[in-house]
Amino acid sequence: MELLISSFLPAVYPQIGGDGPVVVHLGGNNPMLPVGAGKPSEPFLCSIDCAQIPPNSTGLPLPADGHLLLFGDAEKLGQGPGLGYVVYVPAGTPTTEVPAPKPARGSYEERDYRSVRVGPSWPPSGPDGFADPSDDESEMTVEDYELMDQLSDIWGEAGGNYFGSDLYLGGHADFWNDDPVELANEYEYGGGNDWCLLANWYCGDVVAFPLPRMHWLIRRQDLADLRFDRVMISVDMHG
């Protein structure tokens, strides 16, 4: 149980509605980019006001202010991890609207998230991963598996890696097939085991595929250095 709890990661779950400042604006087709910036190569998903994200709430070295813009095409299921598209706009930067390519089904529906919920993110590893690695004789028992199933059910009923939001920052990736973070770390060009989840989006309301997810991945050092040109993206679905 201790190993399971220690494997949780912190995450931020923006919440739709409320009367506070906009934390995340999702959708539309004309992101606010720095004056002189080129046209985006991918559809615009959302703009995140980094100043509204509680410090140290994601476990990631996010910028303290400015806006982080995520781009991606939810129709590219089965993609990745591959080259992603994220733009960071520092606070005070002169900006202008720049049209982005439209997704196949039209621009993502616009909505504002005006508050955040900070909570744990369930680890992606299976039960075998929680056997004590210091004990060569350690194996999961039937009771261990039953307990894991019960905990998983409870976690799902409590909201799981969701907490009422279709988008979250930090934490573990929620996936059906392969862990995109592990894949990024295994790639020859990955540059070590420094990759982490930047954002996870449940995009089932915009594509006609079973339970799709999109993941934006970045190396921690690149995030600290604001090197968003090195972001990767992954799209996964059930099945």
Task: Set out the domains of the chain in order of their start, with CATH numbers.
Answer: 2-236 (2.30.320.10)
pLDDT of residue 82: 83
Beta bridge partners of 131: none
CA distance linking residue 233 with residue 238, whole number of Å? 17
- Any idea what DSSP says for residue 135? -
CA distance linking residue 90 with residue 136, whole number of Å? 50
Handedness of CA 196, 198, 201, 206 (dihedral sign): negative
Q: Which helix (H) or strand (E) holds 180?
A: helix 180-186
Q: What is the pLDDT of residues 186-225, one digit of tens each?
A: 875 555 678 999 999 998 777 777 788 999 999 999 999 9
Please state the separation of Cα 65 from the chain's center in Å: 19
Alpha-carbon distances, residue 150 vs 71, 144, 147 (angstroms): 37, 10, 5
Beta bridge partners of 213: 202, 236
pLDDT of residue 61: 96
Report which residue type is found at 23.
Answer: V
**What is the C-alpha radius of gyration for the chain, rounded to an integer number of angstroms?**
18
In the three-class reduction of DSSP (H, G, I as helix; E, B as strand; rest coil), residue 179 is classed as coil
Q: Which residue has better confidence, 140 or 96? A: 96
